[in-house]
């Protein structure tokens, strides 16, 4: 029979542990695209069981040491992959009607509540705990999946309730995606992204902003309970351009929660011959008194062999002609002579290429000339040749003579050079190529036509590429345990040709990849017991002869040790007195005479310690004694966790020991604490728990000759069983002495982190108790 509160705890666990539906079919075990993930199933604390529960059946805690398993991206889930490990693993799961999924109760008969009232299985992907159904988390190639056993609602393995949505407790709903970046390619045309967090489980309404997506890529909401984004791609038809690039979809829930989903696409056209096409740049044109000449370009794949193109102009009236030169059709009209009949109407030209044909409709409105208009028109350009170069990117040419009925044929001009007509002027403009592109050079003709007259305008071009520029935003990024991923934008004219060169600058555990104009830096924390990755690392981003340095400030530490902070010293049999006796050079002199005047005259300079703060008197007390100062000028940081080194430093000051000097700010204090028998000096930067705090105060009291016989059985607290065996006597003494009460009326929270405000209060009670 499980404990009376088992259902309540199960609901809490289900919120952020392994929810999901049992697949209705046998999961895929192979992937045609070669995708795979690394999977492990581990109980990190099986050998020591310091969280208060019994040992796991296999004492080494390795249920599955780790292996690579083939998957189908977007199909295989974190839940279904457990079944790929059968018969090595025996999975026991049950349905949960409220949350609509399957809950993993046990693996190899080791499951929820077997390791204590707050124990059960959780999963993480790439070091991140998604916090929603494992059967809705679709794995991608290269993911690292870990199933981990927790004995303390996830706090002992790095993910606690504070990181999850709090809809059950009156807080804001959270919202997350199983993947913020997905890829579509020829072998992976469908990707599923799960929308998780409390917002999803509450059945929230989701909206997708797909306005940035090109034709060929679509998104929709579907999947189990409508909590999946289905991203689908369609390969272009043969002969069509590929779909490449990065596109963003805005995923919105409620009025204010919005997350970006980036889709990186590389969809190439379908194989096979492209269908022939015939296209006209205009399907209809007008010829009138002011526009006697019009040109139409013949396009499409059917005109690759221009000899296959023919014109049927039989419908054109006298006075209107059409001729083809290469892929250009030129339609010319001649106004009737004075006294002749006007030419009006719409006439069709049929353009044929192979089995394809298109119709060009020509609307004509040519009136007869007046008697004084029978003189031949003249046309001249001033000048008739211009040069476009870096120093002179534009030029203007004047049209003289007949200025009506003027048209330009600028089809010879290369990309980067344009010609436009405004009244009697032709403006030619050149744009220099961007850095890394080829120069534009050569001589090209523009044909200027007015009525039956035409002149050639010669344009000599010499445009060299612009100077390359390159800038990174930002140029310095931080990678830490809480910030494993950072992005940098490549800017400047050289961005399109940027190359990442890592050289030997990056250590194992930190990678940098480029997609388009974005560099993504990813850090992986070392395995437990591994070497920390700390320091400054640099590599160059180069493009177009330009180079910029990207700096990565890294601080990646291994996960906390299994004994939650006190290291191997708790496994020994020495008593505190025996420890101190073995180190005769270290002594403890507690402060007995406390200056009431100093305490009364202490001035509060901390902006975060208000006059009504419950910890004000304690901060005044330890501040007047010189035991604790601020974390920065004007700030005490009452809610910041206290480290083991901080407490040892304060106890050293209490004994009158100097704490300055040494390689670090805490070196002298730690050396004193080792000599005094208070600590073995391991893990000084680790946050100290409440039970560790009690143990150090208890040892100090023993070594200073104070009585430690007072003890309570702690029966009024519901979490007494979670106190580590090595801390039980200290917790009983601290509670009986009035130094440490419960965090609530029914819980001690021995594994909870002690804050600086709590440390000030505990120290004041301890010193007054000694005095």
pTM over the 0.75 mark? no
Q: Look over the chain and give the mean of its residue pLDDT values, rounded to a whole number.
A: 79
Report the distance separating Cα 492 and Cα 495, nearest Å: 6
Residue 254 pLDDT grade (very low, low, confident, very high; cuts 50, 70, 90): low
Average pLDDT, integer, range 64-91? 85
- Least confident segment among 189-203, 357-371, 501-515: 189-203
In which element (H, E) is residue 742 found? Answer: none
User: Which tens digits make up the pLDDT trace of 721-743?
Assistant: 889 988 999 999 999 889 998 88
Residue 7: what pLDDT?
40
User: Which tens digits make up the pLDDT trace of 570-612?
Assistant: 333 445 445 444 444 555 656 556 777 888 888 899 999 998 8
Residue 316 has pLDDT above 90, yes or no: yes
Average pLDDT, integer, range 758-768? 92
Q: Which residue has the higher pLDDT, 636 or 96?
A: 636
Residue 532 has pLDDT above 50, yes or no: yes
User: Which tens digits make up the pLDDT trace of 162-174?
Assistant: 333 333 323 334 5
The answer to whether 114 and 106 have CB atoms below 8 angstroms apart is yes
Average pLDDT, integer, range 252-274? 80
129, 133, 138, 143 alpha-carbon torsion, rounded to 10°: 20
Query: Hey, is 114 helix, strand or coil?
Result: coil
Residue 100 has pLDDT above 70, yes or no: no
- Distance between first and last Cα of the chain: 49
Cis-peptide, bond into residue 485, ω within 30° of zero: no
Q: 246 CB contacts (<8 Å, ≥6 apart)?
A: 262, 263, 264, 265, 515, 516, 518
Select, from the ranges 212-216, 353-357, 521-525, the one with the highest average predicted confidence (pLDDT). 212-216
DSSP structural state of residue 666: T
Residue 8 has pLDDT above 70, yes or no: no
| Residue 108 Cα to chain centre, angstroms | 35
User: Which tens digits make up the pLDDT trace of 610-648?
Assistant: 988 999 999 999 988 888 988 888 899 999 999 999 999
Residue 23 has pLDDT above 60, yes or no: no
Residue 565: what pLDDT?
32
Residue 27: what pLDDT?
36
Average pLDDT, integer, range 51-56? 51
Going from the C-alpha of 701 to that of each of 589, 654, 676, 704, 733, the distances in angstroms are 11, 12, 12, 5, 10
Going from the C-alpha of 627 to that of each of 621, 699, 705, the distances in angstroms are 9, 18, 21
Residue 731: what pLDDT?
92
Report the distance separating Cα 728 and Cα 748, nearest Å: 12
- Least confident segment among 64-78, 150-164, 329-343, 371-385: 150-164
Residue 18 has pLDDT above 50, yes or no: no
The two three-digit tokens of residue 487, written as one number: 């992005």
- The side-by-side arrangement of strands in the sheet containing 417-422 is 379-382, 394-401, 425-430, 417-422
Q: Which is it for the CA torsion 237, 239, 244, 248, positive or negative?
A: negative
- Least confident segment among 210-224, 480-494, 567-581: 567-581
Q: Which residue has the higher pLDDT, 502 or 29?
A: 502
Residue 101: what pLDDT?
56
């Amino acid at each position: 029979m499980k404990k009376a509160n088992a259902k309540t705890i199960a609901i809490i666990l289900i919120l952020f542990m392994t929810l999901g539906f049992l697949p209705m079919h046998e999961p895929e075990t192979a992937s045609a695209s070669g995708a795979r993930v690394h999977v492990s199933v581990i109980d990190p604390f099986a050998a020591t069981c310091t969280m208060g529960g019994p040992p796991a059946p296999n004492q080494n805690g390795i249920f599955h040491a780790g292996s690579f398993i083939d998957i189908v991206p977007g199909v295989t889930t974190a839940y279904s992959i457990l079944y790929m490990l059968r018969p090595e693993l025996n999975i026991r799961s049950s349905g949960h009607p409220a949350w609509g999924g399957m809950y993993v109760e046990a693996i190899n008969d080791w499951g929820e509540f077997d390791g204590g009232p707050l124990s059960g299985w959780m999963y993480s992907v790439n070091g991140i705990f998604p916090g929603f159904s494992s059967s809705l988390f679709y794995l991608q190639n290269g993911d690292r999946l870990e199933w981990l056993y927790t004995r303390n609602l996830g706090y002992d393995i790095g993910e606690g309730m504070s990181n999850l949505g709090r809809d059950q407790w009156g807080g804001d709903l959270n919202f997350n995606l199983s993947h913020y970046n997905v890829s579509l390619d020829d072998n992976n045309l469908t990707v599923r992204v799960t929308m998780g967090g409390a917002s999803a489980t509450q059945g929230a309404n989701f909206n997708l902003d797909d306005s940035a997506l090109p034709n060929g890529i679509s998104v929709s909401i579907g999947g189990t309970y409508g909590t999946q984004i289905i991203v689908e791609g369609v390969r272009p038809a043969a002969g069509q351009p590929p779909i490449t690039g990065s596109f963003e979809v805005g995923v919105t829930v409620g009025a204010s929660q919005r997350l970006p989903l980036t889709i990186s696409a590389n969809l190439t056209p379908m194989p096979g011959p492209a269908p022939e096409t015939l296209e006209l740049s205009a399907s209809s044109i007008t010829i009138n008194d002011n526009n006697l000449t019009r040109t139409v370009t013949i396009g499409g794949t059917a005109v690759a062999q221009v000899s296959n193109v023919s014109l049927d102009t039989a419908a054109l009236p006298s006075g209107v002609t059409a001729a083809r030169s290469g892929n250009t059709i030129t339609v010319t009209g001649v106004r009737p002579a004075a006294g002749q009949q006007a030419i009006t109407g719409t006439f069709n030209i049929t353009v044929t290429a192979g089995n394809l044909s298109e119709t060009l409709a020509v609307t004509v409105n040519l009136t007869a000339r007046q008697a004084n208009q029978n003189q031949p028109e003249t046309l001249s350009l001033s000048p008739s040749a211009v040069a476009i170069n870096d120093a002179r990117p534009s030029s203007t040419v004047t049209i003289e003579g007949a200025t009506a009925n003027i048209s330009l044929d600028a089809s010879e001009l290369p990309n980067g050079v344009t010609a436009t007509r405004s009244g009697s002027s032709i403006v030619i403009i050149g744009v220099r190529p961007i850095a890394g592109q080829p120069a534009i050079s050569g001589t090209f003709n523009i044909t200027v036509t007015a009525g039956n007259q035409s002149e050639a305008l010669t344009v000599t071009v010499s445009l060299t590429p612009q100077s390359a520029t390159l800038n990174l935003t930002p140029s310095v990024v931080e990678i830490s345990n809480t910030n494993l991923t950072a992005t940098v934008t490549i800017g400047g004219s050289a961005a399109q040709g940027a190359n990442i060169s890592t050289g030997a600058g990056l250590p194992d555990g930190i990678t940098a990849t480029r997609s388009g104009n974005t560099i993504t830096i990813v850090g992986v924390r070392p395995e437990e017991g591994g070497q920390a990755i700390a320091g400054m690392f640099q590599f160059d981003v180069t493009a177009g002869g330009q180079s910029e340095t990207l700096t990565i400030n890294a601080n990646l530490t291994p996960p906390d040790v299994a004994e939650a902070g006190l290291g191997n010293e708790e496994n020994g049999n020495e008593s505190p007195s025996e420890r101190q006796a073995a180190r005769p050079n270290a002594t403890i002199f507690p402060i007995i005479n406390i200056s009431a005047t100093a305490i009364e005259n202490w001035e509060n300079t901390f902006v975060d310690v208000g006059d009504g703060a419950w910890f004000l008197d304690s901060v005044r007390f330890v501040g007047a004694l010189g035991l604790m100062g601020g974390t920065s000028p004007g700030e005490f940081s009452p809610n910041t966790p206290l480290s083991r080194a901080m407490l040892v430093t304060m106890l050293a000051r209490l004994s009158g020991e100097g704490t300055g000097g040494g390689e670090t700010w805490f070196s002298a204090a730690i050396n004193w604490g080792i000599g005094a028998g208070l600590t073995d000096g391991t893990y000084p930067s680790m946050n100290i728990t409440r039970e560790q705090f009690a143990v150090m105060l208890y040892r100090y009291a023993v070594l200073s000759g104070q009585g430690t016989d007072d003890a309570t059985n702690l029966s009024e607290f519901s979490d007494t069983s979670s106190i580590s065996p090595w801390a039980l006597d200290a917790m009983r003494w601290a509670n009986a002495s009035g130094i440490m009460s419960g965090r609530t009326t029914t819980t001690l929270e021995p594994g909870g982190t002690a804050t600086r405000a709590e440390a000030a209060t505990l120290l004041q009670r301890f010193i007054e108790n000694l005095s």
